[in-house]
């Protein structure tokens, strides 16, 4: 059963990281598009967040909690992993999820003028900053889960 839990966690990681990478790629490809193109880009980003990123994060959280509560995984790597996951979860639900529909609405409102509004650019800049703040915790979380390093002296001696 523990192997199944780890497998489901890997599926969650693929969904989560794959969704994030697709956001980065599509954002870079169409960064200077027309408002109509930007509406399409942010419609995609919003839907992929709901279909890939959030469910992937949910699978990661659930499987981490199963490892913690059911399998009593208390090593320091797991504690660091959970702290990073908590940071990523707060960023997702407090900042990014509420921002996405707002950014899309601002892009849609800009279509009539033919240029993206300053409010759109400001919110998009904030979204990018929050997204960039996820890089280090995400890499640490993945390294901890992948390599399960012995971080404490007690763990290294065991």
Q: Are 85 and 60 in contact (CB under 8 A)?
A: yes
pLDDT band at 158 (very low <50, low <70, confident <90, very high): confident
Which pTM value belongs to this model?
0.92
The confidence score (pLDDT) of residue 66 equals: 98
pLDDT tens string 78-118: 999 999 999 999 999 999 999 999 999 999 999 999 999 99
Looking at every residue in the chain, the average pLDDT score rounds to 96
pLDDT tens string 17-71: 999 999 999 999 998 999 999 999 999 999 999 999 999 999 999 999 999 999 9
Q: How far is CA 113 from the centre of its chain?
A: 32
Bin 150: left if φ > 0, else alpha if -120 < ψ < 50, else beta. beta
Percentage of the chain beyond pLDDT 90 is 95
Q: Are 64 and 82 in contact (CB under 8 A)?
A: yes
The two structure tokens encoding residue 144:
């901890």
Block residue for tokens 């763990």: 155
């Amino acid at each position: 059963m523990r192997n199944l839990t780890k497998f489901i966690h890997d599926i969650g990681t693929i969904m989560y990281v794959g969704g994030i990478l697709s956001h980065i790629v599509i954002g870079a490809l169409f960064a200077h598009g027309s408002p109509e193109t930007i509406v399409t880009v942010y419609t995609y980003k919003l839907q992929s967040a709901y279909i890939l990123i959030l469910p992937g994060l949910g699978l990661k959280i659930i499987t981490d909690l199963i490892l913690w509560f059911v399998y009593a995984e208390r090593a320091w790597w797991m504690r660091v992993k959970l702290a990073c996951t908590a940071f990523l979860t707060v960023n997702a639900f407090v900042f990014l999820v509420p921002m996405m529909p707002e950014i899309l609405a601002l892009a849609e409102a800009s279509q009539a003028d033919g240029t993206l509004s300053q409010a759109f650019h400001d919110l998009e800049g904030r979204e990018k900053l929050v997204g960039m703040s996820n890089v280090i915790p995400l890499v640490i979380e993945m390294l901890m889960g992948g390599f399960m390093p012995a971080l404490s002296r007690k763990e290294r001696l065991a």
